[in-house]
Amino acid sequence: MSKKILICNDFELLPRKGGPSTYLWNLRQYIIENQISNIDFLDNFQEAKALQVASGSSRFDKGFWKSGFGRNLRAIISFFYSIKRERIDAEPVMSNYDVLHFHSSRTLYRYRHVLKQLGSRPVIILQSHSPSAWHCEMLEEWFKLSPDSAYGITRALLQIPDKYAFSRADYLIFPCEGAMEPYKHSWRQFDTVIKDKKVLFLPTGTKQAHASKQVADVRALYHIPLDAKVICFAGRHNKIKGYDVLKATAIAVLAANPNIYFLNAGTPSPLQPLEHPNWIEVGWTNDPHSVINAADYFVLPNRETYFDLILLEALSLGKKAVISNTGGNKYFKQFSSPDIHYFESEDVTSLADLLLSVCAVDKGEPTSTPNLDIFQQHFTADVFGQKYLELVNSLNA
């Protein structure tokens, strides 16, 4: 018999937001299209916003920390206690389900008192989507402190939601074993916290991407010659995504071959763009697929890799890819695609040599059939939805 499952999202589901928002948007579309009746969504993002205002956590947005006031110890401690005040004490709906599926440590931590009342039933799943443990991401991305250099009390306090969430969950879901690497590398206690946990693997899937503009039109818009080789990056412009590695690589590549262009999508911050006529910043766009499709190669130079949805979208467009040999990227090695190339993370010389090499031998085929086949066989929304149902219905609940 199918289990009753509640997906506990306290954020809005959107097709282009990325992270758990887009992940669950894809899953919901599959559920609607296939008329699946045993899975519901909590959808209490309006209540979550009100809770953040009431607790005081809403004032600690990224702008607060960028303003220069946020790196002092008192401000970070105040932030933690505002997170602690976000707790929800009553949620009667949850008792009607066999499985509660949470998608962030912070959300699960908010419901700690409700879960205490519910006891051992229902079964709790935690599926963290952040590129590293939540507290490590906060320290690095918001506070601009590395987990190792952060104040001891700061690190200890911010670990509390993660420790609670990973300890309280009955099952942990990751896209693949390699996706756990960023957690192991950034959170020293990760292995200890999860040592007795049941860890399951569920590769992500997504809708087929479609380019709304022709390649020639996109290249004309950004003044890129049709005979040029184009390398596309799409994502956050930060160190964990390897944006600085790509900039350093581009200097060497452009000096050796002036007919190569770098076409970059995503908000150009916190790291600043390279000043070069062949380095083009599109900025935030609602149509990244047309940008990616206009390139010969998609590059993913991450220092650490969870499991990038944007790579799946690039494969669905039949794009050739150059990716770092890190984390979730390693999952794709099993397919032995001649059009997915790997380099060692942070190795600028290796990446530059690889990009120059593939561009030199590339014959300009518009579509990589091997990569498109990999997507269609393993990473469509339908494949993902079917695997999700099989996984959750197999749990001991």
pLDDT digits (tens, 9 = 90+) for 171-205: 999 999 999 999 999 898 999 999 999 999 999 99
133 and 238, same structural domain?
no
- DSSP annotation of 385: H
Tell which residue, 306, 310, 342, 336, has the closest CA to residue 324: 342
Rounded distance, CA 70 to CA 60, Å? 8
- Are 295 and 319 a contacting pair, CB within 8 Å? yes
60 CB-side CA count, 13 A:
21
CATH number, residue 324: 3.40.50.2000
- Are 257 and 355 a contacting pair, CB within 8 Å? no
Buried b / exposed e over 284-293, threshold 16 CB at 10 Å, is eeebbbbbbb
Rounded distance, CA 133 to CA 198, Å? 18
Q: 19's torsion region: left (phi>0), alpha (psi -120 to 50) or beta? A: left
Average pLDDT, the chain: 90
160 and 239, same structural domain?
no
385 and 368, same structural domain?
no
In which domain, by residue range, is 310 found?
215-378
Strands (E) located in 258-383: 260-265, 279-283, 297-300, 320-324, 340-343
- Residue 121's pLDDT is 80
pLDDT digits (tens, 9 = 90+) for 20-31: 999 999 999 999
225 and 174, same structural domain?
no
- Are 323 and 306 a contacting pair, CB within 8 Å? no
52 and 38, same structural domain?
yes
Place of tokens 């004032």: 59
pLDDT < 50 regions, the chain: none
User: What total of structural domains would you count in the chain?
Assistant: 2
Backbone dihedral angles phi then psi of residue 238, each to the nearest 5 degrees: -135, 180
Q: Name the token pair of 85.
A: 């005040």
Q: Looking at the chain, how many residues does it have?
A: 397
Q: Which residues pair with 298 in a beta bridge?
A: 232, 321
Q: Count Cβ atoms below 10 Å from residue 329 Cβ, excluding itself.
A: 26
Please report the sign of the dihedral spanned by the C-alpha atoms of residue 252, residue 255, residue 258, residue 261. positive
- DSSP annotation of 57: G
CATH number, residue 37: 3.40.50
- Residue 65's pLDDT is 61
176 and 82, same structural domain?
yes
Tell which residue, 294, 384, 298, 293, has the closest CA to residue 337: 298
221 and 169, same structural domain?
no
- Are 348 and 248 a contacting pair, CB within 8 Å? yes
State pTM to two decimals.
0.90
305 and 317, same structural domain?
yes
- DSSP annotation of 318: T
Angle (nearest 5°) at CA 47 between 46 and 51: 120
312 and 169, same structural domain?
no
- Residue 368's pLDDT is 86
- Are 249 and 268 a contacting pair, CB within 8 Å? no
- Residue 62's pLDDT is 62
Distant-in-sequence, close-in-space partners of 140: CB < 8 Å, separation ≥ 6: 132, 146, 147, 186, 240
220 and 190, same structural domain?
no
385 and 362, same structural domain?
no
- Residue 157's pLDDT is 86
220 and 199, same structural domain?
no
Q: 223's torsion region: left (phi>0), alpha (psi -120 to 50) or beta? A: left
Q: Name the token pair of 269.
A: 């911050």
